[in-house]
């Protein structure tokens, strides 16, 4: 599978774009109303995008999503339901990207790894932006 959705009880926990997914044109997988847009930019050789900017506009964002791309190594991401039960594990390899949308997750490094990560800002502080959750082992 090249694009995956991790969903449980009608809650979307994550979207994954695997490193082997190829598209012919720019494609976004997230819904337009999502606070974080996740997709692939693709153009044929010779394409030129007009000079442009992204003007400031006030937006209200109440969730905190995180995206990361594995540069090297191997990383497992575990997902848990609201009762702390593990519902899914996915293993990410170099070039795989994941958007963490909702719910409790943990990350285990299976091989020495480095990832590029992006989160919405501003960073308010770890006491507000991360809450340690009790899960069942």
Res 63: pLDDT: 86
The segments of the chain whose pLDDT lies below 70 read 1
CB 129 within 8 A of CB 123: yes
Res 127: pLDDT: 75
Whether the bond into 122 is cis, omega within 30 of 0? yes
* CATH assignment, 3-43+61-129: 2.60.120
Q: Catalogue the E-assigned strands of the chain.
A: 3-8, 11-17, 27-28, 39-40, 66-80, 86-92, 97-100, 104-119
Res 32: pLDDT: 87
Res 50: pLDDT: 94
Res 1: pLDDT: 57
Prediction pTM value: 0.87
CA–CA dist 119, 137 (Å, integer): 28
Q: Which residue in this structure is represented by tokens 């989160």?
A: 119
Largest CA distance in the chain: 53
Beta bridge partners of 97: 17, 69
Res 27: pLDDT: 93
């Amino acid at each position: 599978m090249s694009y995956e959705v991790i969903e449980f009880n009608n809650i979307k926990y994550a979207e994954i774009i695997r490193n082997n997914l190829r598209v012919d044109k720019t494609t976004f997988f997230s819904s337009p109303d999502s606070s974080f847009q996740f997709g692939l930019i693709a153009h044929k050789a010779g394409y030129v995008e007009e000079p442009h900017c992204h003007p400031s506009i006030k937006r209200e964002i109440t969730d905190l999503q995180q995206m990361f791309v594995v540069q090297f190594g191997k990383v497992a991401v575990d997902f848990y339901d609201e009762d702390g039960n593990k519902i899914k594990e996915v293993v990410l390899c170099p070039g795989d990207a994941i958007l963490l949308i909702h719910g409790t997750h943990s990350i285990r490094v299976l091989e020495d790894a480095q990832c590029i990560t992006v989160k919405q800002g501003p960073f308010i502080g770890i006491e507000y932006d991360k809450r340690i959750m009790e899960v069942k082992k």
